[in-house]
Amino acid sequence: MITEENFKTIIPDVNWDYAKQYVSLFETVLPRYNISTPLRKAYFLAQVAHESGGFKYAVENLNYSAKALYGVFRKYFPTLEEANSYARQPKKIANKVYANRMGNGNEASNDGWNFRGRGLIQLTGKDNYQALSNQTGQSFISSPELLEQPQWALTSACWFWKKRNINKYADTDDIHMVTKLINGGYNGLTNRQHYLDEFKKLYSV
């Protein structure tokens, strides 16, 4: 079981004022989404620890430089000149890159910004916010910022986990497939593995 002491040991640079709010939620929220065995818990917590920067962040950081925009979002910023006109303007960037997809409207709708990545696993797009609203009975369309609160940041991550049937791969101890289903690739695999090893020790896996 996770306590304040062992949580700090596993994630020593944790933002404790924020992260301590999760400790009492783990044992109540995770089982609702069948994240109920020691191995499943170890996998889930390892992945969300990485995705949230060690439980520091529950909202997407879109404060990109022009060079970063050109490198990461070249589809939307095919030239450095165009990227420069959006650089260091997170709201403008979100409305550009998330427009007209995932249920979002056009740039002017502000949907890209309103429904940017939130939660411990960055839930993104109006369609996902609506689906989570339907499942929980809490409206994240009218109040998207609720997903930055620990209860809903954790709940949204659990919902995403269950929706993608990630328990199936956690059960077979397949970190590559678990990571791919969350990240789309294997970004940060070494750090994810480190957290997984630590949480496995905690849960005696």
Q: Measured in Å, how far apart are the chain's first and last C-alpha atoms?
A: 12
pLDDT value, residue 29: 97
- pLDDT single digits (tens) 145-170: 999 999 999 999 999 999 999 999 99
* Cβ 154 vs Cβ 120: under 8 Å: yes
- pLDDT single digits (tens) 32-87: 999 999 999 999 999 999 999 999 899 999 999 999 999 999 999 999 999 999 99
pLDDT at residue 186 greater than cutoff 90: yes
Maximum CA extent, the chain: 53
- For residue 146, the 8-state DSSP code is G
- pLDDT single digits (tens) 17-44: 788 899 989 999 999 999 999 999 999 9
Map out the domains of the chain as residue ranges. Answer: 4-56+149-202, 66-114
Q: Which residues, at least 6 apart from 58, have a Cβ–Cβ distance to it below 8 Å?
A: 52, 118, 119, 120, 147, 148, 149, 150, 153
Mean of pLDDT values over 90-105: 97
Give the global pTM: 0.94
Confirm or reject CATH 3.90.79.10 for domain 4-56+149-202, answering yes or no.
no
The average confidence (pLDDT) of the chain is 95
